[in-house]
Chain A
Amino acid sequence: AATAPEARAAAPAAAPAWESRYSVCDMCFNRCGLIARVENGVIVKLDPNPRFTKSRGMLCARGNAGVAQVYDPERLKTPLLRVGERGEGRWKAISWDEALDLAASKMKDIGAKHTRCGMLFSAGADMQSGFVSRFAEAFGSFNVTSHESLCLLSGNRAFVDTFGDVPLPDVKNSKYVILAGANRLEALVTPDSMDLVSIMQKGAKVVVLDPRYTKSAALASEWHPIRPGTDMAFMLALAHVIIQEKLYDAKYMAERTSGLDRLAAHVADKTPAWAEGETGIPAADIQRMARELAAAAPAAMVYPGRRSSDYENSTQIRRSFAIVNALLANYDRPGGLVPARPAGLKKAAPFEPPWYDDNPPGRVDAKSVPLLFDDEGSFVLTREAVLKGAPYPVKGWFVYKTNPMATAPERRKTREMIDKLDFMVVVDIAMSDTAWMADLVLPAPSGLERQDPVQALQAGAEGACLVWRDPVIAPLHQSRPVFDILKALAGRLGFPEAFDFDIAGYRRQQLAAFPEAEAILKRDGVFYPPNAPLGGTDGQPFKTPSQKIELYCSRYADLGLDPLPVYAPPKPSPDAARNFRLVAGRSACVTQGSSTNNGLLSEFEPENTLWLNEEAAGELGIRQGDVVQVQSPAGRGELRALVTPKIRKDTVYMLSGFGTLSGGLSHTTGVGASIVELLESRFDAICGNSAIHETYVSVKKKGAA
């Protein structure tokens, strides 16, 4: 052919002169195993660790962007002391000694003046977060929050109160999965995300319920654009069909569950036709799905989900998820829900926390809801208490690797809470919006520069694996791991014994049961402790009051809560002008509120847009790319509209992590709108988890009347 090339052979390329070092990704909580390629002390590439089966040997876009995080020119470099007004952004670089002295003396003052519970400690998802809790305990404060009360506590509450534990989905072996409010192909959770794709190819059915046509919806066997807030109606209808048609395993139900009769009565009128009216999903489809699900049981599931910070009744919504699972008799069965398997880690560096008589009786948010998780509390309710100064004043805040200014609803309130404080210190890798408001900002190393203790990770039916981190490069700038910071503070505050160890020694204690583990971790980057096959809980009591799966939750009955999930239609908008429900959700290239400033990832998601249904946009005279004004009682925002058929007409959506305030986030400050500026501070009535899908907003074209 005329264009046939003149072929010649190229000299073979030389292999790069890199060293390969194991670590674990720190771009989200999944902690996928990775291999860092290091050339002359510089990380040039992060690759997946093929031996790390929990992540199916992958590294997502964010994982790849870990290099950009390490070498981000906007990284925090030195301890910074605020010298201007809060939020003004005037800082003075100070030495670590000055910084630690200052932090210690401020904490001491607050302890003396307001009791030690006057200090609040918040830590995000991290392998060193446990040390923050330990420090709080040693310091003497009950007030610890984590990201979890913004994330998954209502789901955990529901499953603990049904099964006695929080089981994991064994997606890999499942034949039928209902994903309700879980965008698993974008909100990556390993190994579930990958396994969903694999099982669909093998013929399993995946049903997605989501008001948005997410990527999960696009690839699922079926997608139903459910009316937001009505998932419980769908689940009760599934239960109705399964019970009515006796599609369950009667023997199992009798032996392992309690309250089937009450459930049957409860759902007797929750017909598919009724649910259609609530959810918008055709009754025939609901009925069919119930039958298909039951036919595939026990290798079938209603996916428990992860983030359940949606509605004020999220615990009850998730209870309905748990109940349908119970009807499928899928607990501890391949393809169903499996209990977390013991990883065999030993408790390291045990210590006796001191007791302070002057302390108040409990957490500052205690008793604000009936079933708070004591270790996690509720960020939204804690913030409320700090604002009120009641039941007692909280005047200091230690924040590690979490960014409530970007991830807690109603940013204005978080800002007001901070104004109530005498002292706030933030340990972060970047000048997050939360750091921007602090008095003292301390630079942290990235996961790739740290030594971390051992952590157990669960991978569905495959059980636990153990990982740790050793630094693949020396810490950049003046960054210091939070462990070192806490240890230094403990020394200054007079309880050095609480941190009288180093991480290497700590890890040895953790791994005491596995003498071979250290060598294997060094060789493979991951260690798999022996893993018992599924079914080990058969015949064992469930950790519930009745020792059975509680379809009917007796504890709720005792507390005056609905023992069976009672459906109430979503409350309509109190204001006719605010006719869109605002929902949150993930992109595969963004981690929560905080990776949007990453140099590589910002190329994928350079700004957020408001997803607006095309018909709704037509009625409002909004065209593709128009700047729109979004308003709620909490605040307002301006961003471009994405006019699309991919969302229900009554719902709008925007990505989190934009419209930031900090002067250290050049890709996102002044770019797009902040969703937390718009979200109202609602919370789950049972456990205090934040409820971020309860906000109605008005939308209009910028400049329109």
Chain B
Amino acid sequence: MSAQKLAMVIDSARCIDCKGCLAACKQANHVSRGTWRNWVKEAAPPVENGPGGSRKLGRGHFQPGACMHCDEPTCVAACPTGATYKNAADGTVVIDPRLCIGCGNCIAACPYGARFRDPEKRIADKCDYCPERRAAGLSPACVDTCPTRARVFGDINDPDSDAAKLLAANQGKVVRIIARQKDTRPNMYYIASTAPQGWTVQPADPLSFDFLAGVVAPAVRWAVGLSGLGVLVMLGRQLMAGAGPAAGPGQEKKEDGHE
């Protein structure tokens, strides 16, 4: 278990869809126009019977979200360079921008659509729980700014953190949004319940990556292995021949002598 386990506990029933968190995140993290590190999803309200046989919309619900910093992140599994990895110190899933080559494998591999390729930075991007702000002793931008305190952040391994306390107070009622297709063990906790659900997608490696991992990598391993084996056999013969009396064709000795 990592020393810390940073997580977001969201009381989505408090969310008013004001998008303060989206604006704050963009401003804090220089997220390029047209792309977002976080989101607020709207549940389709139920249709109820209104007066006089009319139809009327029922209670709505908004669901704030972002990368869930999963314990079994499919994005990490799909990254060829290890630019995306799970930070052992705090449990976050982070991207080292210096190692990212923008291949986009991780984008398709995330069941939550949490990632995107930033059109200006040209590399993969997603929520990183605002490490610079944390270093300055502040909460992440989206948490800090939220008018209704719907987003609560902290180290859930530390029982004194706001997030851990909220979790403890709601024990047994906390829900997570788990992709039907793959449980990545997300670390985003919603209090009591949340909607909408079922918006997750099949985490799919791009064909190029499946081909690479499934065909190319084994084929290369085989090819290199075979050729390595051949070399070893040749080397063995050479060494044995060097030790024995009748080596290969005579001229080789002659050439040796020639040197």
A and B touch in the complex (CB under 8 A): yes
Show the binding face of A for B, using Cβ within 8 Å. 1-10, 12-16, 18, 44-48, 55-56, 58-65, 67-68, 185-186, 188, 193-194, 197-198, 201, 213, 215, 217-219, 223, 225, 276, 280-282, 588-589, 599-601, 603-604, 645-646
Instruction: State whether A47 touches B145 (Cβ < 8 A).
Output: yes
| B187 CB to nearest A CB, Å | 13
CB neighbours of B144 from chain A (8 A) = 47-48, 59
| A202 CB to nearest B CB, Å | 12
CB neighbours of B13 from chain A (8 A) = 201
Q: A60-B18, A65-B23, A219-B59 are in contact. Are A12 and B89 (CB under 8 A)?
A: yes
In the complex, what distance in Å separates the CA atom of A282 from the CA atom of B50? 9
CB neighbours of A45 from chain B (8 A) = 24, 27-28, 141
Instruction: State whether B51 touches A280 (Cβ < 8 A).
Output: yes
The chain A residue sitting closest to B60, CB to CB, is: A218
Instruction: State whether B20 touches A12 (Cβ < 8 A).
Output: no
Q: A588-B18, A604-B19 are in contact. Are A5 and B77 (CB under 8 A)?
A: yes
8 Å CB interface, B43-62 against A: 45, 47, 50-52, 55-57, 59-62
CB neighbours of A282 from chain B (8 A) = 51
Instruction: State whether B87 touches A10 (Cβ < 8 A).
Output: yes
| A645 CB to nearest B CB, Å | 6
The chain A residue sitting closest to B87, CB to CB, is: A10
CB neighbours of B28 from chain A (8 A) = 45
Decide yes or no whether B135 CB sits under 8 A from chain A: yes
Instruction: State whether A3 touches B74 (Cβ < 8 A).
Output: yes
Instruction: State whether A6 touches B85 (Cβ < 8 A).
Output: yes
Instruction: State whether B23 touches A64 (Cβ < 8 A).
Output: yes
The chain B residue sitting closest to A645, CB to CB, is: B57
CB neighbours of A276 from chain B (8 A) = 51
Instruction: State whether A12 touches B131 (Cβ < 8 A).
Output: yes
| A644 CB to nearest B CB, Å | 10
Instruction: State whether B145 touches A188 (Cβ < 8 A).
Output: no
Summarize B's interface: helix, strand, loop or mixed: mixed
In the complex, what distance in Å separates the CA atom of A55 from the CA atom of B73? 38
Instruction: State whether A186 touches B76 (Cβ < 8 A).
Output: no
CB neighbours of A603 from chain B (8 A) = 26, 33-34
Chosen A-B contacts, 14 in total, with CB atoms closer than 8 Å, are: A3-B76, A5-B72, A7-B2, A7-B85, A45-B24, A61-B18, A62-B23, A64-B145, A185-B16, A194-B147, A215-B60, A217-B60, A280-B51, A599-B33
Q: A188-B18, A276-B51 are in contact. Are A197 and B148 (CB under 8 A)?
A: yes
CB neighbours of B243 from chain A (8 A) = none
The chain B residue sitting closest to A20, CB to CB, is: B136
In the complex, what distance in Å separates the CA atom of A185 from the CA atom of B16? 6
In the complex, what distance in Å separates the CA atom of A44 from the CA atom of B24? 11
| A696 CB to nearest B CB, Å | 21
Q: Mark B145-188, 1 if CB is under 8 A from A, else 0.
A: 11111000000000000000000000000000000000010000
8 Å CB interface, B1-49 against A: 2, 13-14, 16-20, 22-24, 26-28, 33-34, 45, 47
Decide yes or no whether B115 CB sits under 8 A from chain A: no
Instruction: State whether A5 touches B55 (Cβ < 8 A).
Output: no
| A624 CB to nearest B CB, Å | 15
In the complex, what distance in Å separates the CA atom of A201 from the CA atom of B191? 12
CB neighbours of A65 from chain B (8 A) = 23, 27
Instruction: State whether A46 touches B27 (Cβ < 8 A).
Output: yes
Partner of A215, one of B17, B34, B52, B184: B17
Instruction: State whether A9 touches B145 (Cβ < 8 A).
Output: no
CB neighbours of B34 from chain A (8 A) = 603
CB neighbours of A218 from chain B (8 A) = 45, 57, 59-62
Most chain B CB neighbours (cut-off 10 Å) among A6, A60, A188: A60
The chain B residue sitting closest to A195, CB to CB, is: B148
| B145 CB to nearest A CB, Å | 5
The chain A residue sitting closest to B43, CB to CB, is: A218
Decide yes or no whether B138 CB sits under 8 A from chain A: yes
CB neighbours of B27 from chain A (8 A) = 44-46, 64-65, 67-68, 600
In the complex, what distance in Å separates the CA atom of A188 from the CA atom of B85? 40
Decide yes or no whether B86 CB sits under 8 A from chain A: yes
Instruction: State whether A58 touches B145 (Cβ < 8 A).
Output: yes
Instruction: State whether A14 touches B87 (Cβ < 8 A).
Output: no
CB neighbours of A188 from chain B (8 A) = 18, 147
In the complex, what distance in Å separates the CA atom of A153 from the CA atom of B34? 40
Q: A64-B20, A193-B16 are in contact. Are A213 and B57 (CB under 8 A)?
A: yes
Instruction: State whether B85 touches A5 (Cβ < 8 A).
Output: yes
Instruction: State whether A15 touches B136 (Cβ < 8 A).
Output: yes
| A180 CB to nearest B CB, Å | 17
Instruction: State whether A56 touches B87 (Cβ < 8 A).
Output: no
New A-B contacts (13) at CB < 8 Å, excluding given A5-B85, A60-B145? A1-B72, A5-B86, A13-B131, A15-B137, A16-B135, A47-B144, A68-B27, A201-B13, A215-B16, A217-B57, A218-B59, A218-B60, A588-B17
| A597 CB to nearest B CB, Å | 14
| A269 CB to nearest B CB, Å | 21
Q: A59-B20, A188-B18, A588-B17 are in contact. Are A47 and B73 (CB under 8 A)?
A: no
Decide yes or no whether B240 CB sits under 8 A from chain A: no
Instruction: State whether A600 touches B60 (Cβ < 8 A).
Output: no
Instruction: State whether A47 touches B60 (Cβ < 8 A).
Output: no
Q: Mark B125-138, 1 if CB is under 8 A from A, else 0.
A: 00000011111111
CB neighbours of A601 from chain B (8 A) = 23
Instruction: State whether A193 touches B51 (Cβ < 8 A).
Output: no
In the complex, what distance in Å separates the CA atom of A188 from the CA atom of B146? 13
The chain A residue sitting closest to B19, CB to CB, is: A61
CB neighbours of A61 from chain B (8 A) = 18-20, 22-24
| A163 CB to nearest B CB, Å | 29
Q: A14-B132, A225-B56, A604-B23 are in contact. Are A60 and B147 (CB under 8 A)?
A: yes
| A319 CB to nearest B CB, Å | 27
CB neighbours of B88 from chain A (8 A) = 7-9
In the complex, what distance in Å separates the CA atom of A8 from the CA atom of B82? 10
Instruction: State whether A588 touches B19 (Cβ < 8 A).
Output: yes
The chain A residue sitting closest to B203, CB to CB, is: A3
Instruction: State whether A8 touches B19 (Cβ < 8 A).
Output: no
Instruction: State whether B89 touches A10 (Cβ < 8 A).
Output: yes
In the complex, what distance in Å separates the CA atom of A601 from the CA atom of B27? 11
In the complex, what distance in Å separates the CA atom of A198 from the CA atom of B47? 26
In the complex, what distance in Å separates the CA atom of A1 from the CA atom of B70? 13
In the complex, what distance in Å separates the CA atom of A646 from the CA atom of B145? 28
CB neighbours of A223 from chain B (8 A) = 56-57
Decide yes or no whether B124 CB sits under 8 A from chain A: no
Instruction: State whether A8 touches B87 (Cβ < 8 A).
Output: yes
Q: A10-B94, A45-B141, A61-B23 are in contact. Are A219 and B60 (CB under 8 A)?
A: yes
Instruction: State whether A604 touches B56 (Cβ < 8 A).
Output: no
Q: 8 closest A-B pairs (Cβ-Cβ)?
A: A218-B60, A13-B131, A64-B23, A61-B23, A58-B147, A7-B88, A15-B136, A15-B135
Instruction: State whether B47 touches A645 (Cβ < 8 A).
Output: yes
Partner of B20, one of A6, A58, A225: A58
The chain A residue sitting closest to B52, CB to CB, is: A280
| A18 CB to nearest B CB, Å | 8
The chain B residue sitting closest to A214, CB to CB, is: B60
In the complex, what distance in Å separates the CA atom of A604 from the CA atom of B24? 13
| A335 CB to nearest B CB, Å | 19
Partner of B85, one of A8, A55, A215, A600: A8
Q: A8-B85, A600-B26 are in contact. Are A194 and B47 (CB under 8 A)?
A: no
| A223 CB to nearest B CB, Å | 7
CB neighbours of A47 from chain B (8 A) = 138, 141, 144-145
Instruction: State whether B85 touches A225 (Cβ < 8 A).
Output: no
Instruction: State whether B135 touches A14 (Cβ < 8 A).
Output: yes
| B68 CB to nearest A CB, Å | 14
Q: Mark B63-84, 1 if CB is under 8 A from A, else 0.
A: 0000000001110110000100
In the complex, what distance in Å separates the CA atom of A16 from the CA atom of B137? 11
| B77 CB to nearest A CB, Å | 4
Instruction: State whether B50 touches A56 (Cβ < 8 A).
Output: no
